[in-house]
Amino acid sequence: MTRGRSPRPPSALIPFAVFGVLLFSVPLIGLLVRAPWSRLGTVLSGPVVTQALRLSLISSVAAALIAAAIGVPMAWILARVEFPGRALVRGLVMLPMVLPPVVGGTALLYAFGRRGLVGEALYQATGIVLPFSLWGVVLANVFIATPFLVLTVEGALRNLDPRYESAAAVMGAGRWRVFRRVTLPMIGPSLAAGALLAWARALGEFGATITFAGSLQGRTQTMPLAVFVALEQDRDVAIALSLVLVAVSLAVLVALRNRWWGPS
Amino acid sequence: MVGAIVSGLSAQLHVERPSGFVLDIALEAEAGTTVALLGPNGAGKSTSLWALAGVIALAGGGISLDGRVLDDPASGVFVPPEDRRIGALFQDVLLFPHLDVAGNVAFALRARASSQRAADREAHEWLDRFELSDLAAMRPAELSGGQAQRVGLARALAAGPDLLLLDEPLSALDVGSRARVRRMLAEHLSGFAGPRILITHDPAEAALLADRVVVVEAGTVTQTGTPEQILRAPRTAYTADLAGLNLLTGAAGGGMIDVGAGPGLQVADRSVAGEVLVTIHPRAVSIHPSRPTGSARNTWPSTITSIETLGNLCRVQFEHPIPLTAEITVEAQRSLGLEPGTRVWVAIKATEIEVLPG
């Protein structure tokens, strides 16, 4: 009675798959075992943790929203418009994905720092200083996370049957209405997946943030930075912070699993 | 510029595709008539549709509809698709998967309606007219092929277009829903005053729905006329192949078709009923010296009335009991010793018989 059962993998795959699952689960178990369960409540309610959690959630959600706002138009143009230098522009947009984040942070510093290419003019005109501020954290997150969204959405736009948009135009819809009522809803699942990827990347962002925005507790110190600092001072706090990050990430993945991976 | 039809469509379509394909056809359709663009796959039928709709711009020629110039490269006039007032029943229907049935019809109405609410209200009136009210809240993925075509036609007609384009409206359907969709087309097309262009690769579909046929092959017009004229006097290998099809009319019921004489034809689809048009390709008719005992469901004895040789192929004609043409190789004809007057058995597989509701 093998018919109708779920398929059996080739035996050679099984040890590798088991090893892989262990690789992902053992570190998590390590965290759980070493967690300071008895004083977890006090550690988590301390100002370091609450402030870092608040900053992380604000900056990562803001970064994901901004990534969508600038990423979708970029993806649309990269997918649909033929212009000279398109390959170069696409390379530039995707660069932060392969660049070490600390290099990205350094580049941001020389562009948007108080003495930077754009930053100096910005400071003189408005008095706004981006580095070492919450907006600096958001900017670093946007810089690192947006390529993930562009990549996802551009792929979705290329796979979209163009006849639907043509049909909408024949039915009297102008370009904006076609985009808003046909293109966007039809790539909706991919846009959501891309935004989730960008959010996850922003939540874990470390290198560009610490380089560009520093690690000022209560101002720019997000969860990953707080974990790093705590490792030097109070290991219990580092573990507690890590557990919170794991819990938040898992909660989001579980809450959204039906929408993006189909019910299972 | 294009011809002088004031009420209807007048088009000279010259399109050059990046692939190197060139389309160059003339097309005229008076108000209230249906003109079929008939041709094999890759002939340029879809390109014609998208050029008429304004999705592909002309490189030369022009399009005018009721005297209104829609595209004229020589003078630089180009009306974008959203301003052409064209209704289309697209191939694969292309209902928006993220909108329900009412939303799909309302989408076509929104461009003209004063508000989304007005569009929604009018969409429900159209659904009533097409007896689709029960499906209003359903998603396209939940519809049958016939239902989707009905929604597609409602969506095409709802905005009150000046020109109606129908792209292969019957070919994707099973025989049962073809009858319903054909009835629906007949019913609603008579109420549409403008010209209609039917795009199809199926001569039976053209014969059933069109007043005139324009045959397109490899981007050019090879023949025009009424469906009867084309089938009676084919001028190209393609139309000759179409003309060579065995066309029979009959009454269907219980998986059998009575064609007026001879044995009833057994067909694969048991659901078909009523008046039907039957097409059988001559290649699907086989000839046997004695009663065949294989899988073919339809066999009967007959006498060859004539044999016509075309190159390596023979067209063998039968008159009684069912008028039929079979296409076999010259080798087969020789080895079986077939001549006019030879008594043989004719065999046709049930699955080779195509049935269209008449």
Residue A258 pLDDT grade (very low, low, confident, very high; cuts 50, 70, 90): low
Residue A102 pLDDT grade (very low, low, confident, very high; cuts 50, 70, 90): very high
Coil, strand or helix at A26: helix
Residue B133 is predicted with a pLDDT of 93
CATH class of domain segment(s) B8-95+143-237: alpha beta
Give the number of other Cβ atoms within 10 Å of residue B177's Cβ.
21
Amino acid identity, position A104: G
Q: Which residues does chain B have within 8 Å of residue A186's beta carbon, measured at their own beta carbons?
A: 96-98
Where are chain B's structural domains? Answer: 8-95+143-237, 246-357
Residue B339 is predicted with a pLDDT of 87
Q: Above 60 in pLDDT, residue A261?
A: no
Q: Above 70 in pLDDT, residue A62?
A: yes
Q: Give me the mean pLDDT over the A103-123 stretch.
A: 92
Backbone angles phi, psi at B92, to 5 degrees: 65, 10
Amino acid identity, position A181: R
Q: How many Å apart are CA B196 and CA A34, to the nearest integer?
A: 76
Residue A3 pLDDT grade (very low, low, confident, very high; cuts 50, 70, 90): low
Does A185 touch chain B if contact means CB atoms closer than 8 Å? Answer: yes
Q: Give me the mean pLDDT over the B225-231 stretch.
A: 86
Q: Give me the mean pLDDT over the B44-68 stretch.
A: 95
Q: What's the CATH architecture for A57-220?
A: Orthogonal Bundle (1.10)
Residue A210 pLDDT grade (very low, low, confident, very high; cuts 50, 70, 90): very high
Contacts of A100 (CB under 8 A, 6+ apart): A207
Contacts of B161 (CB under 8 A, 6+ apart): B85, B86, B87, B194
Nearest to B90 among A167, A181, A185 (CB): A167
Q: What is the DSSP track for B68-79?
A: EEEEETTTTEE-
Query: B269-275, long-range: CB within 8 Å, 24+ apart, which pairs?
Result: B269/B174, B269/B175, B269/B176, B269/B355, B271/B174, B271/B175, B271/B176, B272/B175, B272/B176, B272/B179, B272/B355, B272/B357, B273/B179, B274/B179, B274/B357, B274/B358, B275/B249, B275/B250, B275/B251, B275/B357, B275/B358
Q: Which residues does chain B have within 8 Å of residue A182's beta carbon, measured at their own beta carbons?
A: 96
Question: B134: distance to nearest CA of chain A, Å?
Answer: 24
Q: Above 90 in pLDDT, residue B178?
A: no
Q: Give me the mean pLDDT over the A53-59 stretch.
A: 94
- Which structure tokens are listed for B180? 């319903």
Higher-pLDDT residue of A220 and A253 is A220
Residue B184 is predicted with a pLDDT of 82
Amino acid identity, position B71: D
Residues in chain B: 358
Q: How many Å apart are CA A77 and CA A83, to the nearest integer?
A: 9
- Average of per-residue pLDDT values in chain A: 91
Q: Are B143 and B177 in contact (CB under 8 A)?
A: no
Residue A264 is predicted with a pLDDT of 41
**Closest to A133 measured CA to CA, from A152, A150, A147, A119:** A119
Does A28 touch chain B if contact means CB atoms closer than 8 Å? Answer: no
Coil, strand or helix at B142: helix
Question: B50: distance to nearest CA of chain A, Å?
Answer: 8
Nearest to B111 among A166, A171, A186 (CB): A171
Residue B2 is predicted with a pLDDT of 47
State pLDDT tens for residues B271-329: 778 888 788 888 889 999 989 888 888 899 999 988 888 778 888 989 888 888 898 99
Residue B4 pLDDT grade (very low, low, confident, very high; cuts 50, 70, 90): low
Does A7 touch chain B if contact means CB atoms closer than 8 Å? Answer: no
Residue B261 is predicted with a pLDDT of 78
Does A1 touch chain B if contact means CB atoms closer than 8 Å? Answer: no
Q: How many Å apart are CA B293 and CA B263, to the nearest integer?
A: 17
Nearest to B159 among A161, A163, A172 (CB): A172
Give the number of C-alpha atoms closer than 13 A to the C-alpha of residue A247, restricted to the C-beta side. Answer: 11
**Closest to A171 measured CA to CA, from B276, B83, B70, B275:** B83
Q: Report the share of chain B in percent with pLDDT over 90.
A: 52
Least confident segment among A48-62, A124-138, B163-177: B163-177
- Which structure tokens are listed for A116? 């930077």
CB contact under 8 A, A174 and B82: yes
Q: Above 70 in pLDDT, residue A4?
A: no
Residue A18 is predicted with a pLDDT of 96
**Closest to B197 measured CA to CA, from B3, B34, B348:** B34
ipTM of the complex, rounded to two decimals? 0.80
Among B47, B52, B55, B79, the strongest candidate for a mutation testing the A interface, having the largest count of A CBs within 10 A, is: B55
Q: Are B258 and B247 in contact (CB under 8 A)?
A: no
Q: Give me the mean pLDDT over the B333-351 stretch.
A: 90
Q: Are B223 and B236 in contact (CB under 8 A)?
A: yes
Q: How many Å apart are CA B70 and CA B78, to the nearest integer?
A: 6
- Calculate ∠ Cα A146-A147-A149, nearest 5°: 70
- Which structure tokens are listed for B264? 């009833």
Question: B6: distance to nearest CA of chain A, Å?
Answer: 22
State pLDDT tens for residues B237-249: 788 777 778 878 8
CATH of B246-357, one of 3.40.50.10210, 3.40.50.1980, 3.40.309.10, 2.40.50.100: 2.40.50.100
Q: Which residues does chain A have within 8 Å of residue B99's beta carbon, measured at their own beta carbons?
A: 185
Residue B272 is predicted with a pLDDT of 77
Backbone angles phi, psi at B140, to 5 degrees: -55, -35
Q: How many Å apart are CA B152 and CA B89, to the nearest integer?
A: 6
Q: Report the share of chain B in percent with pLDDT over 70.
A: 98
Q: Above 50 in pLDDT, residue B18?
A: yes
Nearest CA in chain B to A164: B94
**Closest to A153 measured CA to CA, from A52, A262, A77, A250:** A77
Q: Where are the alpha helices (DSSP H) in chain B?
A: 45-53, 101-110, 116-129, 145-158, 175-189, 203-209, 227-232, 237-243, 330-336
**Closest to A53 measured CA to CA, from A229, A227, A233, A211:** A227
Least confident segment among A50-54, A212-216, B92-96, B259-263: B259-263
Q: Give me the mean pLDDT over the B181-207 stretch.
A: 86
Q: How many Å apart are CA B11 and CA B29, to the nearest integer?
A: 9
CB contact under 8 A, A170 and B55: yes
Does A176 touch chain B if contact means CB atoms closer than 8 Å? Answer: no
Q: Above 80 in pLDDT, residue A217?
A: yes
